[in-house]
């Protein structure tokens, strides 16, 4: 089976920053806060505002604390020893997602300097196949629409039938034209990081822009961290065909 955790779209330009001196404006609800309310990395320390677990309201600022970024079974984790905290961390320098030990999205943040605001675009997702399992706890399915929900981990799209999904297609129809796609590759779990290697991941895809009638091939790195690719022109509908995979160990 092949697994994608996230295929979503964001309006945002490309820019580079040094992760050792980087600040992400916190998002709580539909809005991003001013830069004063931010997740900030500075000289080996990080400052993360406190959030109420129920209301998601920001409780106030925090102080800078030592942190470590470690990789376990290819999954990146942010460790804050002083607070006994451990987050699955997805980032590429302009967008940041932190998931807690229960695989729930705890923090979402991004660069919000003028002209760089991140705006999620609504979309519908379909695929030529998806996996349905019968477990002791009940039936579980992994449909394409999971690709648009990044609120929790362990909720990916998984192909059905063909073990390596070569030839499988995912079609995404957007509510407005977009020019960039973001992907998290593979099965990601905070408490079962070994599952990333167990399952196959996408290696090479063909992206067909069905709006402008063009296509190109894109090679994904073998990592769950955020990867993005830009379309030659804004599109309302794209089709992703899986051409090659990184085989899983099981």
> What pLDDT does 52 receive?
64
Domain boundary residue, one of 90, 110, 130? 110
In degrees to the nearest 10, what's the CA dihedral of 189, 94, 240, 128?
30
Separation between Cα atoms, residue 47 and residue 59, nearest integer Å = 14
Same domain, 106 and 157: no
Same domain, 208 and 161: yes
Domain boundary residue, one of 61, 82, 110? 110
pLDDT in tens, 101-130: 999 988 888 765 544 445 567 889 999 999
Separation between Cα atoms, residue 245 and residue 157, nearest integer Å = 15
Give the residue among 5, 3, 11, 27 at the shortest CA–CA distance from 149: 5
Instruction: Select the more confidently predicted residue: 204 or 95.
Output: 204
Mean pLDDT, residues 201-229 taken together = 91
Separation between Cα atoms, residue 62 and residue 59, nearest integer Å = 9
Counted domains in the chain? 2
> What pLDDT does 169 receive?
93
Instruction: Select the more confidently predicted residue: 3 or 134.
Output: 134
Mean pLDDT, residues 177-201 taken together = 89
pLDDT in tens, 60-89: 556 888 999 999 999 999 999 988 999 999
CB 80 within 8 A of CB 65: yes
User: Whole domain around residue 152: which residue ranges?
Assistant: 3-12+119-246
Same domain, 174 and 140: yes
> What pLDDT does 112 receive?
52
Same domain, 135 and 46: no
């Amino acid at each position: 089976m092949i697994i994608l955790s996230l295929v979503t779209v964001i309006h945002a330009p490309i820019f580079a920053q040094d992760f050792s001196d980087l600040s992400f404006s916190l998002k709580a609800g539909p809005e991003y806060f001013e830069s004063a309310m931010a997740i900030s990395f500075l000289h080996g320390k990080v400052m993360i505002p406190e959030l109420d677990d129920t209301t998601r309201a920001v409780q106030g600022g925090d102080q800078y604390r030592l942190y470590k970024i470690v990789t376990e079974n290819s999954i990146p984790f942010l460790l804050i020893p002083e607070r006994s905290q451990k987050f699955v961390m997805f980032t590429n320098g302009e967008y940041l997602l932190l998931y807690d030990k229960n695989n729930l999205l705890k923090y979402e943040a991004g660069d919000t300097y003028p002209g760089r605001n991140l705006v999620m675009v609504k979309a519908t997702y379909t695929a030529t196949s998806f996996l349905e399992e019968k477990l002791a706890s009940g039936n579980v399915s992994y449909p394409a629409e999971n690709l648009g929900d990044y609120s929790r981990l362990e909720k990916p799209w998984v192909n059905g039938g063909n073990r390596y999904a070569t030839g499988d297609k995912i079609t995404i129809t957007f509510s407005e034209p977009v020019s960039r796609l973001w992907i998290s590759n593979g099965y990601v779990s905070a408490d079962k990081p070994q599952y990333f290697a167990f399952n196959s991941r996408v290696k090479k895809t063909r992206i067909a822009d069905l709006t402008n009638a063009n296509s190109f091939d894109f090679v994904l790195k073998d990592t769950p961290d955020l990867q993005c690719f830009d379309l030659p022109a804004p599109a309302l509908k794209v089709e992703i065909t899986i051409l090659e995979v990184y085989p899983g160990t099981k």
